[in-house]
Structures are given as C-alpha cells and as structure tokens.
C-alpha cells in the first residue's frame, strides 16, 4: 500500500510537469485550433536557457539558492515567451487563412528545425549536458515515503502557476479576450478585440509555462539535450487530449492523471517495457470513446 | 502519370549508366568509416569518430602505413536504420575503401556487415557487442569483448566481490546492447546460485524512472544491475537515491564516460561498472592516449567508445603492415592472426570467432573519479 | 475512357520491362547508385500509397511507417523461416497483414477529423513500433537480421509501377471519384449517396497494403530491420513527399519521392546540416507554396 502511495507521489510530480506543458498546447489549440508541434522544443529551450543563465547569475545570487532559482526561472520563461511569439509571428501568422493541415506541417518543420539545429556542434551539441542544481536537494519525506525537495517545489509551484493562470483567464480583461477569441474569432474581432495581439499573448504565455516545465523537468533529471522535449511533449499532448483539448482545467487534470498512470503502470514488471505504448494506448482509447476528453464538450458539426 | 514514372526510370538509367567503380589514388590508403555523427546516438558516434581520427592523425604524422598516408573518409548514418547500408555502399563502391571501420551500435554494424562480407572488404567494429555481428562472415571483426563475456564478468563480480545474493535488473528495452548484457548477466548469476528478485525495463532516453525504481526497491534487492548507457545510468542513480533505494548500483561498459560523474555527481559515488580499460590498469599506452586525446580535443576526457575507435584504427593499420598490402583477403588474414596486440584498451587477441579476447576491468566511482578495482581475464 | 486504360497498361508493361532490363544488367552498374535507385523505388510506393489516404481522400495520416513496419517484419520473418524462394508470397502476405492493420486503424478513426486523425494515426504508428520492440518473436530491440537481399531493381521499380497503376486507375475510375468527393465535402458526398465510411476505410486498407509491400521490399534490401527505423520521423518523411508533390497529384508525388530520396545523398558533403536543411525546406514550402511544388490545377 505504501508502495502505491509512493508511486502516486512520484506520478504527481511528473504529472505536474505534463500539466504545465499541456496547458500550452490547449491554450494555443483554443485560440488557433491547431496543435503546435514545436511546443515541446520550447521546453528544451527553457532548460537550455536556464543552463546558460545559472552559472552567470550564481556568483551574485548564490549557488543553489532560492533567489537564483527564482531569477533563472523567471528569466528563462521570459526568453522563451519571446521565442514563442517570434515563432508564431514568422511561421504561423502568415498561414492564418490556410487549411489547418498546412500549419500543422509547418509546426512539424519548426520542431525538427529546433531539434536538429540544437544538435549541431556550434549550437548546443548533441551530447547530454549536466544541468546545474538550482536548489539544494534534500529528502523531504516522512516515514517510508520519500519525496525529494525538488519534487515538492515542482508540485507547489505548479499549483501556484495554475492558480495564477486561472486568475488571468477568468478574472482579467486579457483572459476574457482570450476566451472570446477561442469561442468565436470573428465575433471577438468585431467586438474590438485585437486578435493578433491576443494570439501572440497566448503563445507567449504558453511558451513561458513550457519553459518552466522544462526547467522543472531538468531539475528532476539533470541531463539536458536537444531532443529532450520530444517525449514529455508527446505525453503532455496526450494529457491535453485526455482532459479535453481547449479546456484548461482539463489539461491540468489530464497531465496529473497521465503522470500517475504512467508511473504506476511503469512500476509493474511485465508492463514496464510497454511504458512508451501506455500513453498512446490511453490516447487512442480516449479518442475512440470520448473524443472530447474528460472535461470537454462534444462539438456538433454543423452543415 | 505513367509517363512521369517512365521518364524517371529513363533518368535513373542515364545516371546509373554513367557511374562505375571508383577508387582511391595510388599513394594513399583509403579507409572508410561510418558512424552516427548526428541524430539520436550522436554522442557515441562522435566519440568513436574522435578516437579514430586521432589514431589516423598519429599514424600519418609518423609516416603513414607502408609508406602511404591513410585517407579516412567518414560517412554519417544519422543514427537511422537504413542509412548505414547506403553509407557503406558509397564507401566501397564509389570511394573504393579497402577497409571499413564501424559501428558502435550492433544493429547498424549488422546492416553493413553483409555488404562488407560480400565485397570482401574487412570491417572492424569498435564496440558492437552483439555476437551476431562477427557471425556474419570471416571479413567481420571487432576489437571489443562480447556481451556473454561481460555479463559473466559482472555476475561473478556481484556474487564474489559485492557478496550479493539477490539482484534486481533494470534493462533498457530500446537497446539491444542492454538486453543482451542483461540476458547473459541473468544466466551467469543464476548459474552461480544467485537470485534475480526483480526485472524491470525502461526506455533509453526516458527521464523518469521512479515508477520502476519504487517497485525494485520493494523487491528488496542487495544490488541493482543497470546495463545501460551513462546518461540513463546517472539519472537512474540520482532518482534511486531520491526514493531511498540505497543499495549498490552497477553496470557495464556503457557507463564509462566523464558524463557519468558530471551528471550523476554525488548519486553515482560508490557505483561500479565493467569496462575495457583504465589508465591505471592499461599502463603507459593508456595514459599516453588520454593525454593525446585531451590535447587534441580541448581537454575532453576520452570515453570507452573513443578508446575503442582509436584501437580499431590502430589494429587495422597494424594488420595492413603485417599483410604488406591492402587486398581484402590479406588484411583479413592478418587481422585474424592478431595476437596480444598492445592496445589502449588492453592486450587484444582476435580469436577464431573474430572477437577480441581481452580482459575487462572493474572500476568504482570514488571522489568523482574512476578508481580501479580489479581486472578479470577471459 | 478505354483509351486511357490502354495507354496506362502499355506504360505499365513498358515500365516493368525496363525495370527487369536494368536488373539484368545490374552487374555493370555501380552498386552504390543501384542501391539508391532501389531506395527511390521503395519510396515511390510509400509516397503514392500515402497519397491515396492523405491526398486523394483527405485523411491526414501520420502513421504510415507503422504499415510499412508490419509488411516488412512479416515478409522478412517468412523468408527467414521458410527460405528465400518465398519472396513474392512473403511480400504479398506482408501486404495483406498490413492491410488488415490498416483496417484496424481506419475503422476507429472514421469519426475523427484533421488534427485528431493525425494524432491518432501517429499514436497507432507508435504502438505498432512498441509492439515490435517488445516482441521477442520479431527480434525485439535488435530487430530482424540476416535477411536475404532479394530486392532487385526489377522488384522495386516493377512493383512501384504496379502501385502507381493501381492507385491511378482506382482514383480515375467512376468508383474512385468517391475518394475525391469524400475529400471535398463529406456531408455533401453522403447526401449524394456515397458512403464516406466505405471510401475512407478502403483508402486506408489499400494504402496500407502497398505500404506493407514497400516494407517487405525495404527489409530485403537493407538485410536488417529494427523498430527504431519505423518511428514517426519516418512517417513524417513520407508525409513531406506527399506534401511536396502536391496532395492528390500522383505525378508530383512520384517526382517528390525521387528528389527527397536523392537529395540527402547529394548533401553528404554537408552531412551535419542535412536535417536542418530538410526542416527548413518543409517550413519554406508551406509558407510559399503549400499546394506542392508540382501541382497543376485539378480539373473540377
């Protein structure tokens, strides 16, 4: 029993990261109706931004300290927000009026570009780099249950970020504009909403969350390399679909659920080698039986 | 559209008709190398390539082989299946390579081997450990030991030195190297009277292992065998400590890299692994290699792939010298006759199966460095 | 109508004859280029078969490599177990099993559109890969090795010609108009009495069949197949050929397959930039000419 509890704790920490990434996917899908394949690589960029920033800031702020962690996270998120907005402006905005499939393929192209350019020696190089410790890591468990302080930080910060996001989306004018655009773009434009700006903002926000997720991911597994975003990105996407794509609480729920399921199943000896496939099986089951996701609403197609 | 197909057929015919066998120039020896320089396993290919290049540069600086310089032509296979065949075809049929060096991964070596065998071009793999590679034919060699040997080495080590009765195995299910090593370890360990209490899998490249590690911990092992590569090994050690799994972790030669301690830091202290060489065990040649490598590559320390890449090139050169020529059959015979060659990774004798017979060394991580524990002879 | 068929059949036989001719003279050709040419033939089959699903019927499938894997593994296992003489039957069986998998993938995917379909097919492709990776019968992570090199130029290009012929005839027939109708407007099509379900599933099944054949040819060309060779990057490579050729234009897709197979080999000199160039090509193509490089306007 305590083993199961331990697995659930393990899974929640992993799931929080998936939730943060899934939110980005779902927000972009909400306003643009398209899946941003390059999202997973923004995660990677966030981790690398932190990698380069940490040693620069450590002398002034103190190595492995809260100010350092805070500064690195905020700065990396800001950098990635800009990168996300840049990608939207250069690669997706010109295709706004095109069929969805065209943009999807462009997104795949951007993703591949970020990954392979990153692998080039002059950029990041293909080798795994050791991620610096931003906070001192200690065992914060009790009794037979172990949880590292890093995992605890991830859980707490994710909850905080979810709360902030909820606040922005539900209680601010910007958030209302976002919801308007995702509901009906043309009507929103007619009501005076600057659609381009809202879309940019959405990308920026999603990318910032992805960057934070990337840093959290690197804190738990301190080896970063240009392809590191692929697997978590895919899982987070599945989480977004699981919760109902376009639905923010759904994405968060989906992320946590997927993290726990993956961890619990991964711990079962005969099933652990299928761990890759489990996430995809969940995806297919959801899309077959409840395509709108756990919290989504079914959409009726009008003729 | 049939027209289009037909036209393309004609085009292809024209291209093909114009091209025949290429060849190297008379006063150089063209050696082909294929490696995963980009893609998922780029780090291994790049390491092995760096070692090979260092060897070729040293040989050429000393006057070449049989008076001729070695021209190393390297082709990238992007870590992708299907590419190695094209790369090796190009090296042999277009460039006229007299020998092929490669590859690190057994699956990619196996892709190239039938081509080299059919063309009578000797192939030397630096670090493919799957027995099937050299079974392809008499032109295929390797300079590393094979999985059955290494698995037995670690099994005996676990039993005798670690004095463990119960071991858990954590295998990289995506890597045939890992699975092979796990299989032979299990056979040897159970044959010696030990018990495998848990067997779990992970996917190489994964970053979260806590699910599996928690189950392993629950099975109460006295040690965990992780026959994978250094990045995964380091992360596994870190996460094991985080969930309170405090028994010794150990692995095979895939662990050997400075990245193990760079990434693993405190968590890998006290872990063990088997490998091909150690500067302490290898004597002056090993040390000279490490110094030369550091000088050539900006202070980087070589890992096992780099050392083996170096050795594969050196042994080839030695065989060419002994064969006194570059015909495939002669090089093949010279390679097969290699006995007690003093390589960086130990004394190498090529046995009847064209595998390298050499000792393994066991190292332990102490103070962030690899400390020599013992040598196990075949 | 009959004139078209007479034309098509003549070219089919001519293409097959030429392919056999080249094969017989294979000894005098440089093996490196011959190998590439066979790769091209295989990729033509893959691109044209995907085109039926993506281009003509408008279903965005990102899991084509999965069908290729099924065909490849089944065919290879057959010749490994029962001998090289079974090459043609093995290819056929590989194709049939792949078609069955296509059926299994096509049926549940019916209700899904656009993005969702893409993701589900990607998921299926990955599941297929994971199944082969875990199956000891199929060699698990190592895959199957020591496969006899039975794919000659004749086989690859001959079967490519057959694939093109079948797909082209299918789409140009009265029955085949249904594919395009489903592509253009599914609801209108069903209002006209065309059963979109039947067409969508047929597209998947036939597309998968030929992808399976391509997989079998691939396995007997490279002598080694492993699960990592059939991942979604491979699927994307085939998709790029279809996009570049112009979805629905068979001639364009063939040309795109040829170019995209030869290009990486030509770019060996700048090997480290290969994938970077490739990804920029995708982006550039979408931004400037999303209808493909070789599209001529389709007759309405």
Q: Are B53 and B156 part of one and the same domain? A: no
Q: Looking at the domain assignment, is residue B374 inside a domain?
A: no
Q: Looking at the domain assignment, is residue A261 inside a domain?
A: no
CA-nearest of C74, C75, C78, C54 to C64 is: C54
Q: Looking at the domain assignment, is residue B377 inside a domain?
A: no
Q: Looking at the domain assignment, is residue A100 inside a domain?
A: yes
Q: Are B153 and B271 part of one and the same domain? A: yes
Decide if C268 and B85 are in contact by the 8 Å CB cutoff.
Answer: no
Cβ–Cβ under 8 Å, residues B263 and A222 = yes
Provide the pLDDT for residue C76: 94
Strand partners, B365: B370
Q: Looking at the domain assignment, is residue A71 inside a domain?
A: yes
Q: Looking at the domain assignment, is residue B189 inside a domain?
A: yes
Q: Looking at the domain assignment, is residue A249 inside a domain?
A: no
Decide if B111 and C15 are in contact by the 8 Å CB cutoff.
Answer: no
Task: State pLDDT tens for residues B315-355.
Answer: 999 999 999 888 889 999 999 998 888 888 878 889 888 89
Decide if C39 and B8 are in contact by the 8 Å CB cutoff.
Answer: no
Q: Are B197 and B268 part of one and the same domain? A: yes
Tokens 């034919």 -> residue? B137
Instruction: Grade residue B299 by pLDDT with cuts at 50, 70 and 90.
Output: confident
Decide if C236 and A91 are in contact by the 8 Å CB cutoff.
Answer: no
Phi, psi at A129, each rounded to 5°: -105, 145
Provide the pLDDT for residue C118: 82
**Predicted confidence (pLDDT) at residue B235 exceeds the cutoff of 90:** yes
Strand (E) or helix (H) holding B46: helix B42-61
CA-nearest of A20, A3, A8 to A208 is: A20
Task: State pLDDT tens for residues B195-217.
Answer: 999 999 988 888 889 889 999 99
* Domain interval for residue B196: 148-275
Tokens 């249904």 -> residue? C178
Q: Looking at the domain assignment, is residue B371 inside a domain?
A: no
Q: Looking at the domain assignment, is residue B176 inside a domain?
A: yes
A149 touches chain B (CB under 8 A): no
Provide the pLDDT for residue A38: 92
**Count of CB atoms situated within 10 Å of the CB of A33:** 15
Per-residue confidence of chain C (300 residues) as pLDDT tens digits? 444 555 667 777 777 877 777 777 766 677 888 888 899 999 999 999 999 888 777 778 889 999 999 999 999 999 999 988 888 999 999 999 999 999 988 887 777 777 778 888 888 898 899 899 888 888 888 888 888 888 888 888 889 989 988 888 888 777 777 777 777 776 777 777 777 777 788 888 999 999 999 999 999 999 889 998 898 889 988 988 888 887 777 888 898 899 888 888 887 777 778 778 888 888 888 888 777 666 554 443
* Domain interval for residue A72: 14-229
Q: Are B141 and B287 part of one and the same domain? A: yes
Size of interface A-B (CB pairs under 8 A): 108
Of B3, B111, B179, the CB nearest to C141: B179
Choose between B43 and B238: higher pLDDT.
Answer: B238
Q: Looking at the domain assignment, is residue A72 inside a domain?
A: yes
Whole-model pTM?
A: 0.85
Considering its fold, how many domains does chain B have in total? 2
Instruction: Grade residue B280 by pLDDT with cuts at 50, 70 and 90.
Output: low
Structure tokens at B237: 């050690």
Q: Looking at the domain assignment, is residue B14 inside a domain?
A: no
Q: Are B114 and B214 part of one and the same domain? A: no
Q: Are B271 and B288 part of one and the same domain? A: no
Q: Looking at the domain assignment, is residue A47 inside a domain?
A: yes
- Which CATH number fits the domain that encloses residue B131? 3.40.50.2300
Q: Are B153 and B120 part of one and the same domain? A: no
Which chains share 3+ C-beta pairs under 8 angstroms with B?
A, C
DSSP A7-45: HHHHHHHHHHHHHHHHHHHHHHHHHHSS--TTHHHHHHH
Helix axes of A100-119 and C114-134: crossing angle, nearest 10 degrees: 50
Decide if A91 and C275 are in contact by the 8 Å CB cutoff.
Answer: no
Cβ–Cβ under 8 Å, residues B78 and C274 = yes
Question: What is the least distance, in Å, from the CA of B216 to any CA of chain C?
Answer: 20
Of B43, B200, B265, the CB nearest to A127: B43
Q: Which of B275, B301, B332 is the last residue of a domain?
A: B275
> Which of the residue ranges A165-174, B366-375, C69-78 would you say has the lowest mean pLDDT?
B366-375
Q: Looking at the domain assignment, is residue B251 inside a domain?
A: yes
Cα–Cα–Cα angle for C145, B119, B93, rounded to 5 degrees: 105
State mean pLDDT over A56-66: 83
DSSP A148: B
Task: Pick from C51, C55, C123 the residue to mutate for testing the A interface (most A CBs within 10 Å).
Answer: C123
Considering its fold, how many domains does chain A have in total? 1
């Amino acid at each position: 029993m305590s083993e199961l509890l331990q697995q659930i704790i393990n899974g929640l920490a992993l799931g929080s990261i998936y939730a943060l990434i899934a939110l980005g996917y779902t927000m972009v899908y909400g306003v643009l109706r398209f899946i941003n394949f390059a999202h997973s690589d923004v995660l990677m960029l966030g981790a690398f931004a932190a990698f380069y920033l940490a040693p620069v800031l450590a002398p002034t702020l103190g190595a492995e300290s809260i100010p350092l962690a805070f500064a690195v996270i905020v700065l990396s998120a800001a950098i990635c927000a800009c990168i996300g907005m840049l990608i939207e402006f250069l690669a997706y905005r010109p295709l706004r009026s095109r069929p969805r499939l065209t943009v999807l393929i462009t997104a795949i192209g951007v993703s591949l570009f970020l990954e392979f350019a990153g692998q080039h020696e002059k950029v990041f190089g293909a080798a795994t780099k050791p991620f610096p410790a931003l906070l001192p890591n200690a065992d914060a468990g009790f009794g037979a249950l172990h949880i590292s302080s890093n995992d605890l930080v991830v859980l707490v910060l994710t909850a905080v970020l979810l709360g902030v996001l909820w606040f922005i989306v539900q209680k601010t004018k910007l958030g209302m504009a976002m919801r308007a655009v995702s509901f009906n773009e043309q009507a929103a434009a007619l009501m005076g909403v600057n659609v381009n700006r809202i879309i940019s903002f959405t990308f920026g926000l999603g990318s910032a969350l992805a960057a934070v997720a990337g840093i959290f991911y690197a804190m738990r597994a301190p080896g970063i390399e240009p392809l590191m975003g692929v697997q978590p990105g895919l899982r987070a996407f599945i989480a977004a679909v699981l919760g109902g794509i376009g639905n923010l609480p759904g994405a968060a729920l989906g992320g946590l659920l997927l993290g726990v399921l993956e961890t619990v199943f991964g711990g079962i000896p005969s099933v652990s080698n299928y761990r890759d496939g489990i996430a995809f099986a969940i995806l297919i089951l959801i899309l077959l039986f409840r395509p709108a996701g756990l919290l989504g609403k079914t959409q009726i197609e009008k003729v | 559209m049939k027209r289009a197909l037909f036209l393309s057929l004609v085009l292809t015919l024209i291209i093909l008709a114009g091209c025949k066998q290429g060849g190297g120039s008379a006063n150089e020896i063209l050696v082909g190398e294929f490696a995963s320089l980009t893609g998922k396993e780029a780090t291994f290919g790049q390491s092995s390539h760096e070692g090979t290049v260092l060897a070729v540069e040293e040989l050429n600086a000393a006057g070449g082989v049989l008076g001729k310089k070695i021209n190393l032509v390297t082709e990238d296979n992007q870590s992708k299946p299907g590419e190695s065949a094209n790369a090796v075809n190009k090296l042999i049929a277009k460039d006229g390579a007299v020998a092929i060096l490669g590859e690190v991964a057994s699956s990619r070596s196996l892709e190239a081997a039938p081509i080299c065998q059919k063309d009578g071009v000797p192939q030397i793999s630096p670090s493919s450990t799957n027995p099937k590679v050299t079974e392809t034919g008499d032109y295929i060699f390797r300079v590393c030991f094979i999985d059955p040997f290494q698995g037995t080495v670690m099994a005996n080590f676990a039993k005798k030195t670690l004095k463990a009765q119960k071991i858990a195995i954590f295998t990289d299910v995506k890597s045939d190297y890992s699975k092979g090593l796990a299989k032979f370890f299990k056979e040897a360990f159970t044959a010696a009277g030990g018990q495998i209490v848990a067997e779990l899998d992970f996917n190489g490249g994964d970053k979260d292992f806590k699910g599996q590690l928690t189950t392993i911990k629950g099975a109460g092992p006295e040690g965990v065998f992780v026959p994978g590569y250094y990045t995964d090994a380091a992360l596994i050690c870190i996460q094991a400590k985080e969930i309170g799994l405090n028994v010794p972790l150990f692995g095979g030669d895939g662990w050997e890299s400075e990245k193990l301690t760079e990434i693993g830091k405190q968590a890998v202290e006290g872990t063990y692994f088997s490998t091909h060489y150690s500067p302490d065990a290898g004597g002056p040649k090993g040390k000279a290699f490490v110094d030369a490598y550091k000088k050539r590559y900006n202070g980087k320390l070589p890992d096992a792939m780099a050392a083996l890449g170096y050795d594969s090139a050196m042994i080839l050169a030695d065989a060419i010298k002994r064969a006194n020529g570059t015909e495939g059959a002669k090089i093949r015979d010279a390679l097969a006759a290699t006995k007690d060659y003093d390589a960086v990774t130990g004394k190498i004798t090529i046995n009847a199966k064209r595998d390298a017979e050499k000792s393994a060394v066991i190292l332990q991580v102490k103070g962030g460095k690899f400390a020599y524990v013992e040598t196990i002879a075949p | 109508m009959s004139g078209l068929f007479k034309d098509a059949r003549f070219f089919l036989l001519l293409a097959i004859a030429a392919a056999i001719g080249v094969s017989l003279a294979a000894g005098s050709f440089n093996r490196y280029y011959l190998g590439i040419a066979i790769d091209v033939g295989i990729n033509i089959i893959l691109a044209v078969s995907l085109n039926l699903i993506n281009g003509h019927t408008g279903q965005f499938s990102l899991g084509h490599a999965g069908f290729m894997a099924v065909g490849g593994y089944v065919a290879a296992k057959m010749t490994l177990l029962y001998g090289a003489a079974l090459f043609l039957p093995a290819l056929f069986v590989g194709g049939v099993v792949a078609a069955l998998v296509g059926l299994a993938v096509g049926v549940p995917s019916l209700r899904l559109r656009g993005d969702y379909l893409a993701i589900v097919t990607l998921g299926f492709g990955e599941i297929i890969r994971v199944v082969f990776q875990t199956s000891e019968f199929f060699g698990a992570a190592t895959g199957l090795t020591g496969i006899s090199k039975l794919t000659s130029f004749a086989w690859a290009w001959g079967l490519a010609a057959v694939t093109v012929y079948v797909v082209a005839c299918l789409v140009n027939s009265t029955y085949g108009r249904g594919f395009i109708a489903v592509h253009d407007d599914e609801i209108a099509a069903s209002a006209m009495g065309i059963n979109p379900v039947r067409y969508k599933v047929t597209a998947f099944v036939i597309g998968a069949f030929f992808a399976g054949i391509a997989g079998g040819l691939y396995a007997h060309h490279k002598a080694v197949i492993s699960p990592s060779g059939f991942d979604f990057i491979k699927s994307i490579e085939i998709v790029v050929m279809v996009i570049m050729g112009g979805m629905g234009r068979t001639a364009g897709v063939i040309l795109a397959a040829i170019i995209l197979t030869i290009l990486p080999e030509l770019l060996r000199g700048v090997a480290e930039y290969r994938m970077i160039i490739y990804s920029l090509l995708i982006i550039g193509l979408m931004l400037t000419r999303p209808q493909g490089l070789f599209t001529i306007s389709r007759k309405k």
